Structure 1
Amino acid sequence: MSEFVLSLRHSNRAYRIAVGLLFFMQGLCFASWASRIPSIQEHLHLSDAALGIVLFALPVGSMAALPLAGWMVSKFGSKRMAANAIVLYSIMLVALGLASNITVLVLSLVVFGMAGNVANIAINTQAVGVEARYGRKIMASFHGLWSLAGFTAGGIGTLMIGKGIIPFHHFLVIMSIILFGIAASFQYLLPHEKGSTGTGRLLAMPDKTLFRLGIIAFCCMICEGAMFDWSGIYFQKVVRAEKEWIGLGYTAFMCTMAAGRFIADWVTHHIGFKKTIQASGLLITTGLAISILFPFMVPSVIGFFLVGFGVSSVVPLVYSEAGKSKRLLPGVALAAVSSIGFLGFLIGPPLIGVVAGMAGLRVSFMIIAIMGFCVSLMVNGKER
C-alpha cells in the first residue's frame, strides 16, 4: 500500500492535480475579495472616488513584490513559496474582512497584493515544471482552473450576500477551504524545478526573447484589464443595453476566456505557439472591431465572445515559454516577463478612461483593438 502511495505521489498526474488545485485556490481567494468589494465599500462608507484610490493599493503591492518573488522562488523553491504565499494570501483575505478603517484596508491590500504575486510566480513555476514532465503544452489548462475558481467564488459571494453574512465570516470559510487544500496538495507538489540552469539573481534584465514575451503579455494585459473594468460601462453607454443586460458583455468575455484556456493547450499542440498567439491577437482585434463598428446588443456580445477567446491563451502560453529560459531560473524569468506584462493592467484601465473622456468610449476601445493586433505582430523569430 505504501509503495502505491509513493508512486502516486511522484506521478505526473498527481503533480498536475496538485498544481491545478493551487491555481484554483489562488483564484478562489482573489475572486472572493472581489465579490465583497461593494459590501466593504458600504461598511466603510467609501465614495466611488475613495474606493478607486483604495483599490490602487493592491496593484502597488503586486508590483512591489515582482522582483522579490522571482528571487524567493529561486532561492527557497516554488513548492515551499507557493504553499506559504497562498496561506498568507488567505490570511490577508480575512484581514480585509476585518478592516475597520481605510488605513487598515490599504495596508492589508498592499500585503494581499504582495502575497498574491509571490503565489502567482511560484505556482506558475510549478506549472512550468509539470509541463516539462508532460513534454507538451498544459499551462493554459491551469489558468483555466483559475478562471473557473472566479465563477465559483462569484457564486459563493452571491450566496453569502443573499444570506446577509458579513465579509469576515465569508472570508473565514474561504480561508478554511484554502488551508485544507494546501494540506491535501502539499506532498504532491514538485519538490524542485527542472531545467534550472540560469542565474538566481534578485534582479535580472530580460534578454531579447524574454523582453518580446513581456511586450506580448503587456499588450494582452492592457486588453484584459480594460475588458474587466470597462466592458459594463461600454454596454451601458455605447450599446445602451437595458439595465438587466449591462453585464452581458462582461459575462460573454469571461465565459469564453475561461473556456478558451481549457482548449488552448490542444490548439497550441496542433498549430504551434506562434500561430496560436497570432490567431489570439486577430481574435481580439476582430471582436473589438465588430463591437466598435456595430454597437448593438447581438454584434457586441459576439464581439466580446471573440475577445474572450483571444485573450484566453496569450498570458498562459507566454508564461510557459518564459519558464524555458536558458539564461534565468524559471521563477526569475517569469518575474521578469510578469513585470513587463503587469504594467498593462496598471496602464490599460486609466488610459481607456482618459481617451474616453477626450474622444469617447468607441475611440478608446480602438486602442484595445490596436493592442490586440500588436500581440500578433510581436510574435516573430523561430518557432519554439
Structure 2
Amino acid sequence: MSDQAIHFPFPKHYLRIAVGAVFFLPGLIFASWASRIATIQQTLNLSDASLGAILFSIPVGLILSLPVAGWLVSHIGSRKLVLAGLVMYALALIGLGASPNVPLLVACMVLYGFASNSVNIAVNTQAVAAEKLYGKPIMGSFHGLWSLAGFAGAGIGTIMIGQGVVPVQHFAVIALVVIIFLFVFQRYLLDDSAKTETGPAFVLPDRPLIKLGIIAFCSLICEGAMFDWSVIYFKKIINASGAWMGAGYTCFMCTMALGRFAADWFAARFGLKQTLQLSGLLTASGLLVAVIFPHLYTAMLGFLLVGFGVSSVVPMVYSVAGKSKTMSPGMALAAVSTIGFVGFLVGPPVIGFIAGAFSLRISFMLIAVMGLCVTGISSKVKL
C-alpha cells in the first residue's frame, strides 16, 4: 500500500487515536488475565506443573493463528480483523474466568491465543498505515500504549482481588469496557477492505524479511527471559527478599514502556538502523552489568537498561516489515511475527536448561549475546 493509496476521510489524528485505542484494549485484556492466573490455579486446584502444562495451550493458539491471520488481513482487511479479533479476544477472556474444569480452560486458552495474535497482526497493519499517513515513525508510541495498558490491567486486577471479585465477573467487566470502546473507535480505523488480495495462505518471506524476523527473534528471546526469569534472578542471584524480588521486573517493565514512547523521536532523528543498533547494545550492556555486579542496585540499573534496549526492537521491525515491497503488510507482519515468536517461546526454556547445566548467571550471558546479535544483524539490514 503506497502513501498515495491511503484515503482517510477524517483528520489523520483520528486514525492515530483509534489505532492507539485498539493497541490499549488488547493490552488491558492480556494484563487482566495475567493478574488472575494464580486465582484460577487455586480455584481449579492445579499444581505448578499442571498449570505450566496447561498454559502452553496459549502458544498453541498463537501458532495456529500465524498463517491464518496474515491470510485474513490480506483477504478481508485489517479493520474487519481488528473488530472480529478483539470481540473474540474479550469473549475468550470471559471463558477463561468461567471455565469450571481443565478441558474447557484449555479450549478457551487456545481460542485466547488465536485471537491474541490475530489482533496483534491486524492492529500492527493499521499502525503501519497510520505511520505512512504521518510520514514519520509513530509505531513505538502504539506499542507503548500496550505497555501502559499492562500497568492499568494489573492495577485493576489488584483491586478486584482485594474486593473478592471472582475472575469471571472481573473479566466480564473488562470485556464490556473493550467492546464499548471498540464500538466508539471502530469507525475511525482505516477501512482497507477494498484493498484485499487473492493468493495462498502462506508465502515464504524474502531475505530482508527473514533478517528482520531474526532480529525480532533475538530481541524476543531477551524479552521472554525477562518476563519469566527476572524475579527468579533477583531471588537466587541477587538474594533479594520480599517485594525487592520484583524490583528487577518492575524496572524492566517501566523502561520498556517509556522507551517505546521515546523510540519514535529517536528513530526520526537518528534513523531506524541506529535505533536498532543502540537497542541491542543497551540490552547487552544491561545484562552484563547485572551479571558482573550481582548486587541489588547495580542489577536494577542493568534491568533498566535492558528495558530500554528491548523496548523499540519489535515496533521498529514491524514498522519496516509493514513497508515490504514484495508482500502485503499483513502477510509480511505475519512472516516476521512467526520467526520472532519462536524466540519468545524457546527463550525461557533454554535459559532454564543452561541454568540447570551451569548457572543462572551464565544463562543470562546468553541474553547478552542475543542483544549483540540484534546490533550486528541490524548493521547488515537495509532500512
Same fold (TM over 0.5): yes
Aligned equivalents of 2:53 and 2:369: distance in 1? 28
Pairwise CA distance, 1:379 = 1.1
Runs of 4+ with deviation above 6 angstroms? 196-199
CA contact (8 A) 1:20 1:145 kept: yes
For residue 139 of structure 1, report the CA deviation from its aligned partner: 0.4
Contact 1:69–1:121 (CA<8 Å) still a contact in 2?
Answer: yes
Q: Does 1:68 align with 2:40?
A: no
Q: Does 1:90 align with 2:79?
A: no
Q: Which amino acid aligns with 1:12?
A: K
Is 1:237 matched up with 2:232?
Answer: no
Q: Which sections of structure 2, spanning at least 5 residues, go unmatched? A: 1-6
Query: Would you say the 8 A contact 1:131–1:137 is kept in 2?
Result: yes
- Matched residue, 1:3: none
Aligned to 1:11: 11
Q: CA deviation at 1:244?
A: 2.0
- Which residue is equivalent to 1:367? 366
1:163 is aligned with what amino acid?
Answer: Q
| 1:114-139 Cα deviation digits (max 9, x unpaired) | 01111100000000000000001000
> 1:197–1:329: 8 Å Cα contact kept in structure 2?
no
Question: What is the identity, as a one-letter code, of the residue corresponding to 1:326?
Answer: K
CA contact (8 A) 2:67 2:334 kept: yes
Name the SS of the counterpart of 2:312 in structure 1.
helix
Judged with a 3 Å threshold, the aligned counterparts in structure 2 of structure 1 residues 345 and 184 are, in CA distance, closer, same or farther, namely: same
CA distance in 2, matches of 1:346, 1:60: 10
How far 1:145 moved relative to its partner?
Answer: 0.3
- Give the aligned partner of residue 163 of structure 1: 163
TM-score (norm 1): 0.96
Alignment-derived partner of residue 266 in structure 1: 265
Residue of structure 1 in register with 2:118 after alignment = 118
Q: Cα–Cα, structure 1 residues 268 and 140, in superposed 2: closer, same or farther, change >3 Å? A: same
Amino acid at match of 1:223: C
Distance in 1 (alpha carbons) for counterparts of 2:11 and 2:43: 48
Q: Is 2:334 the counterpart of 1:335?
A: yes
CA distance in 2, matches of 1:181, 1:289: 43
Give the structure-2-normalised TM-score. Answer: 0.96
- The answer to whether residue 175 in structure 2 is matched with residue 175 in structure 1 is yes
* Offset from partner CA, 1:80-132 (integer Å, 9 cap, x none): 10011001100000000001111111110001000111110000000000000
Q: How does 1:1-384 map to 2 (within 5 A)?
A: 10-192=10-192, 200-381=199-380, 383-384=382-383
One-letter amino acid matched to 1:245: W
Does structure 2 retain, via aligned residues, the 8 Å contact 1:325–1:333? Answer: yes
1:10 Cα offset (Å) = 1.5
Q: In 2, are the aligned partners of 1:199 and 1:328 still within 8 Å (CA)?
A: no
1:9 deviates by: 5.7
Is this contact kept in 2: 1:148–1:258, CA < 8 A? yes
Distance 1:118 1:220 in 2: 21
Unaligned runs of 5+ in 1: 1-6
Q: Return the letter of the residue paired with 1:258.
A: A
Superposed CA deviations along residues 289-328 of structure 1, whole A, max 9, x for unmatched, are: 0000000000000000000000000000000000001111
Cα offset for 1:229? Answer: 0.3
Shift, 1:192, TM fit: 1.3
State the Cα distance separating 1:201 from its structure 2 match.
2.9
CA distance in 2, matches of 1:22, 1:332: 20
Give, in angstroms, the shift of residue 243 of structure 1.
1.8
For the 8 Å contact 2:75–2:198, the answer to whether it is kept is no
Aligned CA-pair RMSD: 1.5
Q: Is the 8 A contact 1:200 1:329 kept in 2?
A: no
* Residues 1:30 and 1:134: Cα distance change in structure 2 (over 3 Å): same
The Cα shift of 1:380 comes to 3.1
Within 2, Cα distance between the matches of 1:61 and 1:52? 15
In structure 2, what residue type is equivalent to 1:302? Answer: L
Using the alignment, how far apart are the partners of 1:382 and 1:30 within structure 2?
32
SS, match of residue 379 in structure 2? coil
Aligned residue for 1:246, secondary structure, equals helix
- Contact 2:95/2:108 (CA < 8 Å) preserved in 1? yes
Equivalent residues of 2:73, 2:122 under 8 A apart = yes
Distance 1:119 1:40 in 2: 24
- The equivalent of 2:3 in structure 1 is none
SS in 2 for 1:247: helix
After superposition, the C-alpha distances for 1:357-383 in whole angstroms (9 at most, x for unaligned) are 110100100011101110001113465
- Identity, in percent, stands at 54
